[in-house]
């Protein structure tokens, strides 16, 4: 893998591009501090990131959309306040993005082909959405080509591929049971190029930018966990950084939407929060211009950054799954208590039956004794 | 009819580690059930500003869990080191006499015979039930530590259960960790009832034996 500065010699550096767009030095330094914080680096790294971005050429980036809802694109475009959107869009030279690019049809496809041909092994590919594999992949075609063919060509020739969002990571919602299209994640069909997974529905753009900035600064991709997700964004548990954690330990829970506890900002564990088993930097990176995040806004975490979350994190509003086949009203606890009660009843019945038989046997013995007496 | 002058032999059946693991597990399972139910569905409403209810519940649950793990490990060790009544061989009915005993004890429970068969240690029926219970215990330990693995990613916790979370998703593990508590309750109910039954019909000091270790056997031998 080459140095960041080798990526595209004809283009201006990241910093030059930003200055051309009218981003002030101050906003640029704020962005570098944000990136240092996101990457869990000490504040002293902000100038180093700035130095690296001043020299680095902007990497070309193509953004592929397959079986998706455009949610990660929405997340991407909500990067933050307008200046930071500029920064993100300028740190990344987005050469192909179906949703936001100006050209359409053949012209659009040509720009993708140009990147793949002219910058082979030098561009970053972001994939959004799952890739269907059933029936030759016919369930998702772009420009007359199956998603799986496009992915193999475009991801396969990239410097690195970033699977953005739950669907691109492990198939996400399209792959939820019964998975009619045989949807899988990028890692299941692409090999030979480094893949960074950014789980989440959607993934937070700060982790995408963080990954790219990490590469531009250090010349390497960030360390990842066993899901292939960068540790800086997915290394901590939501529960451990949660602003409502103290209420969890204290035992103060929201019992019903809109109750006193909910109005007081108590813990959402009782409502089925999946924060205790989900790993992502939502509580610290925040969303929507870094103003809030789901739990902060009073909704429980649904564990969207967890493997196969649509299958494994449902029901979203309950701690315990209900038993299939027992009807909606039967919860696990009712069935369990029923078992215990039935056992107690069985034992009682046995005791009564035994006492009854003893009585009969006793009478029989008395009768026998009387007969013998005679 | 047994006479008044019947001679009974005093047999040391349950050695100390067996009795220790039994009673510590009684305590541990009680604590684990109550605190586990709270962790699953927090049923207490704290009133004080300095409450630490979930914190304490989880502390007790984990401590009792470790204690339970130690006692199950001790009992497994003792099934190799202990006397013939506690040996691992008694727990799965394989030999002819075990199968016959299983049949006879079942017949007694089904009122097909009036007195229980002669057993110094576990009846074959009880031993098999304990074996099934042991399997549930093993699952509860592994699944418990698989759930705890979310809090602590150490190598020890991975060995104790974290590996299970790589094979099965957390939701399924939690569901079965919760559900298998109820068969344990059902076991406890049947266990207490049958202990009372076998003590009164066998007249061999069965209930006392789990405190002192001795049974008082009449007949055979």
3-state secondary structure of B5: coil
Q: What is the DSSP letter of A57?
A: B
Taking CB atoms and an 8 Å limit, are A347 and B189 in contact across chains? yes
Say which range, A19-28, A354-363, B140-149, has the weakest mean pLDDT: A354-363
Taking CB atoms and an 8 Å limit, are B182 and A337 in contact across chains? yes
Residue B11: what pLDDT? 94
Residue A45: what pLDDT? 92
- Of B25 and B1, more confident: B25
- Put simply, whether A321 touches B (Cβ < 8 Å) is yes
- Contact status, residue A168 vs residue A129, Cβ threshold 8 Å: yes
CATH class of B10-217: mainly alpha
Residue A340: what pLDDT? 92
Residue B1: what pLDDT? 47
- Mean pLDDT computed over A11-30: 82
Taking CB atoms and an 8 Å limit, are A350 and B109 in contact across chains? yes
- Mean pLDDT computed over A34-48: 91
Q: Rounded to an integer, what distance in angstroms lies between the CA atom of residue A155 and that of residue A190? A: 7
In the structure, what pLDDT confidence band is assigned to residue B49 with cuts at 50, 70 and 90?
confident
Give Dmax over CA atoms of chain B in angstroms.
68
Numbered residues of chain B with Cβ closer than 8 Å to any chain A Cβ: 40-42, 44-46, 51-55, 57, 109, 111, 114, 150-151, 169-172, 174-175, 178-179, 181-183, 185-186, 189-190, 193, 197
Count of CB pairs separated by less than 8 Å, A with B: 94
- Mean pLDDT computed over B46-73: 94
Residue A327: what pLDDT? 59
Taking CB atoms and an 8 Å limit, are A347 and B42 in contact across chains? no
- Put simply, whether A241 touches B (Cβ < 8 Å) is no
pLDDT reading at A80 higher than 70:
no
Q: Which two tokens mark A281?
A: 């930097």
Give the 3-state secondary structure percentages of chain B, helix then strand then coil, rounded to 5. Answer: 65, 5, 30
pLDDT reading at A128 higher than 60:
yes
- Mean pLDDT computed over A264-268: 96
Distance from CA of B163 to the nearest CA of A (A): 13
Of B42, B114, B193, the CB nearest to A347: B193
pLDDT reading at B110 higher than 60:
yes
Residue A58: what pLDDT? 80
The pLDDT tens digits of the residues spanning B70-90 come to 999 999 999 999 999 999 999
Q: What is the DSSP letter of A9?
A: T
In the structure, what pLDDT confidence band is assigned to residue A86 with cuts at 50, 70 and 90?
low
For B190, the closest chain A residue by CA position comes to A347
- Contact status, residue B149 vs residue B158, Cβ threshold 8 Å: yes
- Contact status, residue A94 vs residue A86, Cβ threshold 8 Å: no
Residue of B148, B182, B195, B199 to mutate for A, most A C-beta atoms under 10 A: B182
Distance from CA of B102 to the nearest CA of A (A): 18
Say which range, A97-111, A116-130, A210-224, B79-93, has the weakest mean pLDDT: A97-111
Q: Identify which of A75-89, A108-122, A146-160, A314-328 has the greatest average pLDDT.
A: A146-160
pLDDT reading at A197 higher than 50:
yes
Please list every residue in chain B whose beta carbon sits closer than 8 Å to the beta carbon of residue A351: 193, 197
- Mean pLDDT computed over B50-78: 96
- Mean pLDDT computed over B188-196: 96
- Contact status, residue A142 vs residue A132, Cβ threshold 8 Å: no
In the structure, what pLDDT confidence band is assigned to residue A354 with cuts at 50, 70 and 90?
confident
Distance from CA of B81 to the nearest CA of A (A): 34
For A346, the closest chain B residue by CA position comes to B190
- Mean pLDDT computed over B97-113: 92
- Mean pLDDT computed over A32-58: 89
State the residue for tokens 């104790």: B160
Work out the mean pLDDT of chain A and round it to a whole number: 87
pLDDT reading at B3 higher than 60:
no
Taking CB atoms and an 8 Å limit, are B52 and A250 in contact across chains? yes
Taking CB atoms and an 8 Å limit, are A250 and B42 in contact across chains? no
- Put simply, whether A251 touches B (Cβ < 8 Å) is yes
Of A251, A311, A357, the CB nearest to B53: A251
In the structure, what pLDDT confidence band is assigned to residue A2 with cuts at 50, 70 and 90?
very low
Taking CB atoms and an 8 Å limit, are A343 and B42 in contact across chains? no
Of A239, A251, A342, the CB nearest to B51: A251
Residue of B110, B189, B200 to mutate for A, most A C-beta atoms under 10 A: B189
Residue of B40, B111, B146, B171 to mutate for A, most A C-beta atoms under 10 A: B171
- Mean pLDDT computed over B40-49: 88
- Mean pLDDT computed over B143-160: 91
pLDDT reading at A3 higher than 70:
no
Q: Rounded to an integer, what distance in angstroms lies between the CA atom of residue B135 and that of residue B140? A: 9
The pLDDT tens digits of the residues spanning B115-144 come to 888 899 999 999 999 999 999 999 999 999
- Using the CB atoms, write b or e for A128-139: b if 16+ within 10 Å: bbbbbbeeebeb
Distance from CA of B187 to the nearest CA of A (A): 8
Residue A369: what pLDDT? 60
The pLDDT tens digits of the residues spanning A135-168 come to 999 999 998 999 999 999 999 999 999 999 999 9
- Mean pLDDT computed over A257-280: 95
Work out the mean pLDDT of chain B and round it to a whole number: 92
Task: Give the total residue count for chain B.
Answer: 221
- Mean pLDDT computed over A40-56: 90
Residue A6: what pLDDT? 46
In the structure, what pLDDT confidence band is assigned to residue A7 with cuts at 50, 70 and 90?
very low
- Mean pLDDT computed over A302-331: 83
Q: Rounded to an integer, what distance in angstroms lies between the CA atom of residue A368 and that of residue A83? A: 104
Q: What is the DSSP letter of B61?
A: H
| pLDDT > 90 fraction of chain A, expressed in percent and rounded | 59
Q: Identify which of A236-250, A350-364, B111-125 has the greatest average pLDDT.
A: A236-250
Taking CB atoms and an 8 Å limit, are B178 and A332 in contact across chains? yes
Q: Identify which of A81-90, A103-112, A214-223 has the greatest average pLDDT.
A: A214-223
- Mean pLDDT computed over A230-238: 95
Q: 10 Å Cβ neighbour count for A256?
A: 10
Taking CB atoms and an 8 Å limit, are B175 and A332 in contact across chains? yes
In the structure, what pLDDT confidence band is assigned to residue A1 with cuts at 50, 70 and 90?
very low
- Put simply, whether A308 touches B (Cβ < 8 Å) is yes
Q: Rounded to an integer, what distance in angstroms lies between the CA atom of residue A235 and that of residue A232? A: 6
Q: Where are the domains of chain B?
A: 10-217
State the residue for tokens 């038989």: A357
pLDDT reading at A41 higher than 60:
yes
Residue of B38, B40, B54 to mutate for A, most A C-beta atoms under 10 A: B54
Residue B220: what pLDDT? 65
pLDDT reading at A91 higher than 80:
no
Q: Rounded to an integer, what distance in angstroms lies between the CA atom of residue B30 and that of residue A231? A: 40
- Of A56 and A151, more confident: A151
pLDDT reading at A115 higher than 70:
yes
pLDDT reading at A53 higher than 90:
no
Of B46, B170, B182, the CB nearest to A251: B46
State the residue for tokens 């051309």: A20
Residue A328: what pLDDT? 56
- Mean pLDDT computed over A315-333: 76
């Amino acid at each position: 893998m080459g140095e960041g500065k080798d990526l595209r010699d004809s283009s201006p550096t990241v910093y030059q591009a930003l200055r051309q767009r009218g981003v002030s030095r101050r906003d640029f330094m704020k962005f570098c501090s944000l990136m240092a914080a996101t990457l869990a680096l000490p504040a002293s790294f902000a100038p180093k990131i700035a130095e690296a971005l001043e020299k680095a050429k902007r990497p070309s980036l193509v953004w592929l959309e397959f079986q998706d809802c455009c949610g990660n694109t929405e997340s991407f475009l909500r990067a933050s306040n307008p200046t930071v959107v500029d920064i993100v869009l300028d740190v990344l030279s987005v050469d192909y993005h179906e949703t936001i690019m100006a050209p359409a049809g053949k012209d659009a496809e040509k720009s993708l082909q140009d990147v793949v041909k002219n910058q082979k092994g030098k561009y970053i590919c972001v994939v959004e959405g799952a890739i269907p594999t059933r029936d030759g992949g016919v369930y998702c075609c772009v420009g007359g080509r199956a998603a799986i063919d496009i992915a193999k060509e475009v991801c396969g020739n990239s410097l690195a591929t970033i699977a953005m969002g739950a669907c691109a990571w492990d198939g996400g919602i399209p792959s939820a049971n019964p998975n009619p299209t045989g949807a899988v994640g990028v890692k299941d069909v692409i090999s030979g190029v480094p893949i960074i997974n950014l789980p989440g529905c959607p993934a937070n753009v700060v982790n995408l930018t963080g990954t790219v900035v990490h590469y531009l600064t250090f010349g390497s991709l960030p360390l990842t966990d066993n899901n292939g997700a960068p540790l800086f964004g997915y290394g901590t548990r939501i529960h451990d950084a949660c602003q409502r954690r103290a209420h969890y330990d204290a035992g103060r829970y929201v019992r019903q939407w809109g109750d006193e506890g909910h109005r007081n900002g108590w813990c959402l564990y009782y409502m089925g929060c999946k924060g205790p088993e989900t790993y992502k930097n939502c509580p610290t990176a925040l969303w929507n211009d870094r103003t809030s995040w789901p739990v902060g806004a009073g909704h429980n975490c649904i564990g969207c950054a967890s493997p196969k979350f649509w299958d494994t994190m449902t029901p979203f509003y309950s701690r315990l799954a209900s038993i299939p086949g027992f009807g909606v009203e039967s919860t696990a606890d009712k069935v369990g208590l029923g078992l215990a009660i039935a056992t107690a009843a069985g034992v009682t019945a046995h005791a009564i039956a035994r006492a009854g038989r003893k009585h009969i046997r006793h009478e029989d013995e008395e009768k026998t004794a009387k007969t013998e007496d005679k | 009819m047994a006479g008044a002058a019947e001679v009974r032999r005093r047999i040391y059946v349950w050695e100390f580690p067996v009795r220790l693991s039994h009673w510590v597990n009684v305590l541990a399972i009680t604590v684990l059930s109550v605190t586990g139910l709270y962790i699953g569905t927090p049923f207490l409403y704290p009133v004080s500003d300095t409450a630490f209810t979930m914190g304490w519940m989880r502390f007790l649950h984990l401590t009792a869990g470790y204690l339970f793990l130690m006692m199950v490990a001790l009992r497994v060790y003792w099934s190799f080191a202990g006397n013939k009544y506690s040996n691992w061989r008694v727990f799965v009915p394989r030999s002819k006499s075990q199968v016959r005993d299983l049949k006879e004890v079942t017949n007694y429970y089904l009122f097909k015979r009036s007195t229980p068969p002669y057993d110094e240690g576990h009846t074959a029926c009880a031993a098999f039930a304990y074996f099934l219970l042991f399997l549930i215990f093993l699952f509860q330990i592994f699944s418990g530590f698989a759930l705890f693995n979310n809090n602590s990613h150490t190598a020890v916790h991975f060995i104790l259960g974290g590996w299970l979370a790589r094979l099965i998703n957390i939701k399924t593990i939690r569901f079965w960790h919760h559900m298998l508590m109820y068969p344990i309750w059902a076991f406890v109910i049947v266990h207490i009832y049958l202990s009372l039954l076998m003590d009164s019909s066998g007249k061999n000091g069965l209930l006392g034996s789990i405190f002192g270790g001795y049974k008082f056997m009449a007949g055979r031998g």
